[in-house]
A and B are shown apart, each in its own frame.
Chain A
């Protein structure tokens, strides 16, 4: 069979989906994707299609996440859960190096990434945008060797969102709902009835090569049209919106706005928002010595700007109050991120809203600040 060209579209029948999984496994990929665990859809290893959340959906609101049964057998009939793909490229805990004592000195052996290439199955448009953000953080001006090695070998199989979640606002952030670039393969699931199938878009030569041996048929205009209709419906049903016009200056010129005090009374500094965020990158390091004291490992683990000790300096902390920590997080995510990485740090996935135990909603906080600021002359862009 001739290789498919980039940009071409094909139909994969629902019953042939296992053939795609088999092709990925045969090509040497460790397939990771959505799976149901502990009452939530999280990302884990996908060995058979039974590992996918068949017939499940999620209902999300500020501070609320519930799994519910669908009345069909959709494989991807939900939005995003508490995990993000970040955990594979930038693991929550990772050994960086091991030092061994040699006399009065020591040797350092740097950790090399030797894992198999991964295939991310089921990236949403916002999550692809999130990868673009973390690429700028870990693989831009600074190159993190572990992230770089894993990212370069990862196959990206996107899935178009057939519905919007209650806390979604990707349309506001310009990150979705349609997957437009940066993928190897893009799937649109049309559940039917009567016809349950996937429209497969080829985004790269690597994506085309893994489709070798997977039974595909040409896509008709009606089938591609159905996919477009679905996306338009999703875009029109966003649970949230965020006005990003001039947001950089709006936030950075309102650092002493009374709203910070109000939100700080609710914020628990629990770090949930930063743990579920696909782009939060802050981390710390820890030394893990062996009992003998002759060998020590350097690990790094996710940290959060909501932790008091995050800004520890001598015997004090720079950001002592929850107010200052919430303000740091929000102004970094939505404003100073532009200065650092020339993009917003927010992809509009809504995770921080859903997983906040007290339901703090950043779209609401920005709107509250904006509502009290006299309308400024219209300026283009975010800054």
Chain B
């Protein structure tokens, strides 16, 4: 979904931030911004129809108005990647929040080393940005791997979890920064696999998802230990959240 302002201007956003999207009469939902940060004139979101509000958002017709509050949250830290190898690991709808980061990385390709993207989805039909992925996959300045959990015989790609791609991923662990986005269990196992290869836990960043209502650190829904995910996150360093991720139901 591409949105343009009906009044005012669109404030710039950092990759990893999110907006609260409002459908008249139904309510708001937190959705990550997945457009190109160098094109601040439009607000781009990828929405999967899941609940009452998202199913209405995917039916928005051209010319209709959607309410937008944002951008909120901390975003992916960009400075740690200078001169390093960069690994992006996305699971399912974890790719949209990483897409602005990928645009940013490709726009400044000379500032860091190797670029490895690993994207896993449940099945081929769950893959998003299919055409764009084809273009990324033929580029020589990054390696973009796609894997699915299950597939039929019409799928010629890899089958398996993203964690299985980590041991063979091309990066130098001691000088690598990793950005993870996807289901919590996928991020936890991926972070562990990265650590096993020698990536420092404070060089791993991940985006935590929680129920959100206000997005400004007031309603309490998104609390994750002492942090309000909407304001202090959603991006955290793995080092900071590792003890919490080891616990259940925090």
Contact = CB atoms under 8 A, between A and B. Distances in A.
A321 B25 contact: no
Given A256-B247, A285-B28, A311-B221, A104 B63 contact: yes
User: Which of B63, B65, B209, B225 is the most central at the interface, judged by chain A CB atoms within 10 Å of its CB?
Assistant: B225
Nearest to B244: A255
B65 A283 contact: no
A287 interface: yes
A311 B219 contact: no
Contacts of A340: 226, 228
Contacts, number: 90
Contacts of B209: 313
A339 to B, nearest CB: 3
B226 A339 contact: yes
Contacts of B163: none
Contacts of B213: 283-285
Contact of A105 (B6, B211, B218, B220): B6
B139 interface: no
A303 B219 contact: yes
A287 B26 contact: yes
A244 interface: no
A281 B214 CA distance: 12
Interface in B1-35: 6, 24-28
Contacts of B211: 310-313, 318
A313 B217 CA distance: 18
Contacts of B221: 282, 284, 303, 310-311
Interface string B176-213: 00000000000000000000000000000000011101
A287 B223 contact: no
User: Which of A305, A318, A323 is the most central at the interface, judged by chain B CB atoms within 10 Å of its CB?
Assistant: A318
Given A311-B211, A314-B50, A105 B65 contact: yes
A282 B249 contact: no
Contacts of B25: 99, 287, 289, 293, 296
- Range of interface residues on B (Cβ < 8 Å): 20 to 34
Nearest to B23: A287
Interface string A300-328: 10010100001111110011110110001
B247 A281 contact: no
Contacts of B6: 105
B216 interface: yes
B250 interface: yes
Contacts of B220: 281-283, 303, 305
A283 B70 CA distance: 20
A17 interface: no
Nearest to A312: B211
Contacts of B225: 252, 336
Contacts of B67: 99, 106, 108
A124 interface: no
A282 B219 contact: yes
Interface in A144-173: 144
User: Which of B214, B217, B249 is the most central at the interface, judged by chain A CB atoms within 10 Å of its CB?
Assistant: B249
A293 B214 CA distance: 24
Nearest to B219: A283
Interface of A: 99, 101, 104-106, 108, 137-138, 141-142, 144, 252, 255-256, 281-287, 289, 293, 296, 300, 303, 305, 310-315, 318-321, 323-324, 328, 332, 336, 339-340
Q: Give the 5 A-B residue pairs with the shortest CB-CB distance, closest first.
A: A282-B220, A324-B249, A339-B226, A105-B65, A336-B226
Given A99-B24, A305-B220, A319-B249, 7 more contacts: A104-B64, A282-B220, A283-B213, A283-B218, A287-B26, A312-B211, A336-B223
Interface of B: 6, 24-28, 50-51, 63-65, 67, 209-211, 213-214, 216-221, 223, 225-226, 228, 247-250
